[in-house]
A and B are shown apart, each in its own frame.
Chain A
Amino acid sequence: MSRAWKFGESLNTDEIIPARFNLTIVPQELAQKVFCEVRPDFAPGVQPDDVVVADANFGCGSSREHAPIAIRGAGVKVVIAASFARIFFRNAINIGLPIMECPEAAAGISDGDEVDVDLTQGKIYNRTRGTEFQAAPLPAFVLKISEAGGIVNFLKTHDVEELTA
């Protein structure tokens, strides 16, 4: 069972991790500063397998990969959002941070709710309220990257052309 940490609309990458903390690329170090300006209680309070839930346009702004790495470094199991900014979406897939796009779940989960997810089926369960949601399926080639655990792992054993083959 996972606690939901709820965020609002258009949460940008500076709010996920300010640029001044991007001098490290160590996930656990980045995780200590994740959401530090907008949610100072997050880094000290987050537990492994907690979930981040947000309204539309999550991760807008910079291309910094430090943002999804910091969230993954904090042990977050999945980010569920009404929608994602495009670079964040791509980065999350590429570094192996699971994401689920589901406006209904974003609206139907409050901060502190207990949430379960089934990543392979795209199912989201709000145990606090007894509700269930279905996330949008990922395109096939995105699943290839995701299943490999990210673009780096995919390219270790595959040719890039296989993505769109």
Chain B
Amino acid sequence: MGTLVEEIFSRRLGRTVNAGEIVMVNVDAIMSHDNTTPLAIKAFSEIGKPIRDTSKIVIHFDHAYPAPNQLAAENQQKIVRFIQAQGIDNFYHRGVCHQVMIEEGYVKPGGIVIGADSHTVTYGALGCFSTGLGSSEIGAAWVTSKCWFKIPETILVRLEGNAPAGVYSKDVMLALAGQLGMDGGTYRSLEFAGSYIDALPAHARIVFSNMSVELGAKCGLIAPDQITLDYLASETKAQGPFDQFTAVNPRYERTITIDVSALQPMVACHPDVDQVKPLAEMIGLTIDQVYLGTCTNARYEDLEIAAGILKGRQVSRFTRTLITPASQTIYEKALAAGLIQIFLDAGCTVNAPGCGACIGRHGGILAPGERAFTTMNRNFIGRMGSAEAEIYLGSPAAAAATAIEGRIADPRPYLA
């Protein structure tokens, strides 16, 4: 009974759970990566108790991988030694943690997953409650396999209608960010529904859950349907049978409705995610670096959209264009389909899967005064290097068009 988040926790606890309640639950997976695992190890060591269940622990190397400097290398060496000493099996360096978590089968409808990364909310698109925590709580969860949650109130986001050509789920999410603001969803569950979501492929739904945290939300959920189950079966190692459920007589704190058919391509402008404008208003702004990557928009279909625009064309001479597939699996698929060759022919630089450029670690640092157009989820000051650089966020199609023109560009003329 209730909203999706109430339904997930009610099913887990075998009783009706309502917003406002504080509950203690067993979690299905405990995720961390090279940036957050060292502090989790420190917390775990200080607690001084054994790991409850090593099979729930999943550790990824993605934030600074391959190590760009000696300090990062030493951190990763310490983590590897810990993994070996504790006999932890689930260790990956196959790309951005959230994509790998989905591909490797840790994400299921009705599941509860915690991670030491704010974008852990990503799995909500597949009906899994997932949220980001700090490292100490991850270290604590290694010991307990449990976590406490305050069940959040829910904001229903109804997305209705069909998207016009050139408008992607990223544009719709940015439109919502502009409307709701960076703290508009704080402590809340965002529930995405409506005819647009019902028809949307799973890879594109993931954008909404992924960026829920940019609005402050605890989770961003989509009811698992046949599209979800087909995606899990064909694109992931998750083992069924999978739960299918919906909100039942839910009570929403409020409802926001967006007519998707009336939208146009959008851009989030420097320096905040909610500084959202129609892309048309920003056309012509020179761009030094285009970055197609991250847990938001570097899935196979995103690369396919960009390659469709870049095929047979050249990126602007003075616009470094970086393509970073979200995972090795996506990289392989793109390679087999010829997409990587299209990017190389167009003059792009194809990077190893990972998060490096998105957090200003390596593989795409910005100089003072530079501007980047990216498919990321965040454009905070200093995020990609210099605090005097600017970051603009948009769809993979807009990124590809911008790379060709060297200025923010409308993708629609390229969608023949």
Closest to A56 in B: B183
Chain B residues whose C-beta falls within 8 Å of the C-beta of A95 in the assembled complex = 134, 136
For residue B36, CB closer than 8 A to chain A, the reply is: yes
Shortest Cβ distance from residue A66 to the other chain B in the assembled complex, whole angstroms: 7
Given contacts A63-B132, A65-B136, A152-B46, contact A141 B183 (CB under 8 A): no
Could you say which residues of chain B place their CB within 8 Å of the CB of A111? none
Mask of A62-103 contacts with B, CB within 8 angstroms, 1/0: 111110110000000000000101110011001100000000
In chain A, positions 128-165 with a C-beta closer than 8 Å to chain B are: 139, 141, 150-152, 155-156, 160-161, 163-164
From A139, A152, A160, contact of B139 by CB (8 A)? A152
The answer to whether B140 and A63 touch across the interface, beta carbons within 8 angstroms, is no
- Complex contact B187–A86 (CB within 8 A): yes
Which residues from chain A contact B35 at a C-beta distance below 8 Å? Answer: 19, 22, 64
Q: Please name all residues of chain B whose beta carbon is closer than 8 Å to the beta carbon of A156 when the two chains form the complex.
A: 46-48
- A83 to B183: give the CA distance in the assembly, Å: 9
Q: Is B299 positioned at the interface, with any CB of A under 8 Å from its CB?
A: no
Tell me the complex Cα distance, A156–B45, Å.
10
Is B38 an interface residue when CB atoms closer than 8 A count as contact?
Answer: yes
Which B200-228 residues sit within 8 Å CB-CB of chain A?
216, 218
For A83, A90, A155, the residue with the greatest tally of chain B CB atoms inside 10 Å of its CB is A155
- Enumerate B56-115 residues with CB–CB distance to A below 8 Å: 63-64, 69, 71-72, 75, 115
A37 with B381: CB separation less than 8 A: yes
Of all chain A residues, the one with the shortest Cβ separation from B45 is: A152
Task: Point out the residues of chain A lying under 8 angstroms from B182, CB to CB.
Answer: 10, 57, 60
Minimal Cβ-Cβ distance residue in A for B25: A164
Q: Check: A61 CB closer than 8 A to any chain B CB.
A: yes
Contacts A37-B387, A63-B115 supplied; 6 other A-B pairs, CB < 8 Å: A19-B361, A23-B75, A83-B183, A94-B140, A152-B139, A160-B143
21 A-B contacts (beta carbon < 8 Å): A10-B183, A15-B380, A15-B381, A18-B383, A23-B75, A60-B216, A63-B115, A63-B117, A63-B118, A64-B35, A66-B39, A69-B39, A86-B218, A90-B133, A91-B133, A95-B134, A141-B22, A150-B136, A160-B140, A164-B22, A164-B148
